[in-house]
């Protein structure tokens, strides 16, 4: 399946934006770095770039699966992703996650939910989050809504919300091979920075 010129432009634009964000996040101090500000909503933005691998239902494309209870709604596949990037509150990060996807092969429309995210920064502090309301089209940009559910160290008890894009950097396929992606996000986060370094 080939991508359109518009999709190629969106991918180039996303890469350029993420590059600029990486520079800003690396060299600019965090807004919350001066001390504890529990309850205050702080701008949270960043990106992850890596690879996504699809685990298809055994009966795909004819029969969906709950994948042993991982998905509460029978789905066509689970998308497992991992990558590295940066954000304005963690600096360099590593992250991984997964979600349950359903596709309409007649239209190429995809919906996904039950997403889970684990992200950890250079100092080892973790952020945990979920994402839902995912939607998009094969060969295009996917969008969903994320919610921070907690963390460790300075992110213990963290909360937050926002939205993110998930952009494949190669044409989609159904052979199960890893595909490169970039995942920029923005929203807000609230945490007590005075807990930095504690677990």
User: pLDDT at position 143, please?
Assistant: 98
Strand stretches in the chain, DSSP E: 42-56, 77-87, 91-104, 109-121, 126-137, 141-151, 159-168, 179-190
| Residues of the chain with confidence (pLDDT) below 50 | 1-10, 12-34, 198-199
DSSP-based three-state secondary structure for 131: strand
CA distance 156 to 127: 8
Q: Output the CA torsion sign for 153, 197, 32, 26.
A: negative
- Residue ranges of the alpha helices (H) in 38-183? none
CA atoms lying within 13 Å on the CB side of residue 18: 24
Q: Residues 43, 48, 53, 54: what is their CA dihedral angle, to the nearest 10 degrees?
A: 20
Q: Which residues contact 183 (CB under 8 A, 6 or more apart)?
A: 47, 48, 49, 81, 83, 85, 164, 165, 166, 167
Q: Residue 34: how many CB atoms within 10 A of its CB? A: 10
- The string of DSSP codes covering 26-51 is HHSPPTTTTSB-TT--EEEEEEEEEE
Q: Is the peptide bond before 61 cis (omega within 30 degrees of 0)?
A: yes
CATH topology of domain 5-29+44-60+76-192: AOC barrel-like (2.40.350)
For 45-77, what is each residue's pLDDT tens digit?
999 999 999 999 999 999 999 999 999 999 999
User: pLDDT at position 36, please?
Assistant: 52
The answer to whether residues 83 and 49 touch, using CB atoms and an 8 Å cutoff, is: yes
């Amino acid at each position: 399946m080939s991508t359109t010129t518009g999709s190629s432009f969106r991918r180039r634009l996303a890469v350029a934006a993420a590059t600029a964000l990486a520079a800003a996040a690396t060299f600019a101090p965090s807004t919350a770095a001066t001390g504890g500000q529990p309850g205050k909503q702080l701008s949270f933005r960043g990106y992850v770039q890596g690879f996504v691998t699809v685990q298809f239902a055994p009966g795909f494309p004819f029969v969906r699966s709950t994948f042993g209870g991982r998905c509460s709604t029978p789905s066509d596949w689970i998308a497992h992703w991992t990558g590295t990037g940066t954000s304005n509150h963690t600096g360099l990060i590593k992250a991984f996650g997964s979600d349950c996807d359903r596709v309409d092969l007649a239209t190429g429309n995809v919906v996904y939910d039950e997403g889970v995210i684990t992200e950890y920064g250079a100092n080892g502090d973790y952020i945990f989050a979920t994402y839902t309301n995912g939607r998009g089209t094969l060969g295009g940009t996917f969008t969903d809504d994320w919610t921070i559910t907690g963390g460790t160290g300075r992110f213990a008890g963290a909360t937050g919300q926002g939205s993110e894009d998930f952009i494949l950097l190669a044409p989609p396929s159904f052979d199960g091979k890893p595909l490169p992606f970039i995942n920029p996000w923005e929203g807000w986060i609230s945490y007590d920075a005075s807990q930095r370094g504690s677990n």
